[in-house]
Each structure stands twice: as structure tokens, then as C-alpha cells.
Structure 1
Amino acid sequence: MPRFMDVHTIEGGVSAADVAGAHQADLATQGPHGVSYLKYWVDEQAGKIFCLVDAPDAEAANTVHREAHGLVADEIYPVSEHV
């Protein structure tokens, strides 16, 4: 399945606790869309959130965000892991 990294920018910053709640909402919503949110990273002060997700396509990943909490990504990139 394709893997994506999405990027959110929240003006004025964001709290890790709020992002954790949004991530839990993603997990509760993702199943019917064939999406699997794997990890996320937060820069609270800069208001940046990065989400790693397996999804059939970028729109499916954004659909989960939209339905779960309404915070769709500003940018989304296909990525692959290289170790």
C-alpha cells in the first residue's frame, strides 16, 4: 500500500495533547477507508504536525482527517522508507 507523509500548519501553535486527541479520532475513523495512520510528530511552537499514513491514495488519507476532526493536511507527499 502507498505510504504518505502529510503536513499541517496550525497558526498560533498547537498542543501535543490536542494532536493526540486528533490522532485517536483518526484511528477510530480510518478502518472503512482502508487507511492506517502509523505515527505523528509535533512541533508545538511552530504549529507543525506531520502524519505518516498508509492509504490507497492521498485523498483517502485526507478523507479520514476531514471526517475525524476536520483538520485536513496542507500538504501530502508520497514517501518510501530506506534504511
Structure 2
Amino acid sequence: MPLFMDVHESMPEGATAADVAGAHAEDVKIQDQYGVNYRSYWVDETNGKIFCLVEAPDAETAARVHREAHGLEADRIFPVVEGG
């Protein structure tokens, strides 16, 4: 399945890494409905950025899970290839 890295350029005002963990949990709750697997995420609180690694049929389906789970859509989604 294709692999994508999405980038959220700015976290919501006042959001913390714990808030991002909660949003990720919401993604996981509904991802199976769309054949998506949000594998991992990273938070840069200092610069207000979030990065999510996701397996999905396509970028739009990955974005749809975010949109429906919590409304925080990525600013950019890149197709990536996992290295060893």
C-alpha cells in the first residue's frame, strides 16, 4: 500500500503533544473504515509542527480520516518510500 508523510505546518493555538496523541487516537478509531493505517506521528512543539506517517490507498483518503476524526487536516502530504 502507498505510504505518505503528512505535514501540519502549525498546531492549533495552545495545543500540546498530549493533544496530538488524542487526535492520533481518533484517527486510529476510524482508519479501518477507509483502509488506512496511521503508523506513527512526531510533534515539534517548539516550531508547532506535526508529522504523520500513514499507509493509505491515496493522499485524499488519508486526509479524509484526519478530517472526519478530528478536523485537523495536513497542509501538505508527500508520497514517501520507507528506507532501511
- Superposition TM-score, scaled by structure 2 size: 0.93
Identify if the C-alpha distance between structure 1 residues 48 and 33 changes in structure 2 by more than 3 Å, giving closer, same or farther. Answer: same
Identity %: 64
The 2-side partners of 1:42 and 1:29 are apart by 21
Match of 2:59 in 1: 58
Match of 1:17 in 2: 18
Structure 1 gaps of 5+ residues are none
The superposition leaves residues 8-44 of structure 1 with CA deviations (integer Å, 9 ceiling, x where unpaired) of 0226563110000000000001011000000000001
- Superposition TM-score, scaled by structure 1 size: 0.94
Structure 2 gaps of 5+ residues are none
The 2-side partners of 1:17 and 1:3 are apart by 25
The 2-side partners of 1:71 and 1:11 are apart by 9
Match of 2:2 in 1: 2
Structure 2 letter corresponding to 1:53 = V
Query: How far apart are 1:45 and its partner, in Å?
Result: 1.9
The 2-side partners of 1:58 and 1:6 are apart by 9
The 1-side partners of 2:20 and 2:56 are apart by 20
Q: SS in structure 2 opposite 1:81?
A: coil
Match of 1:27 in 2: 28
Moved over 4 A (4+): none
Structure 1 letter corresponding to 2:47 = A
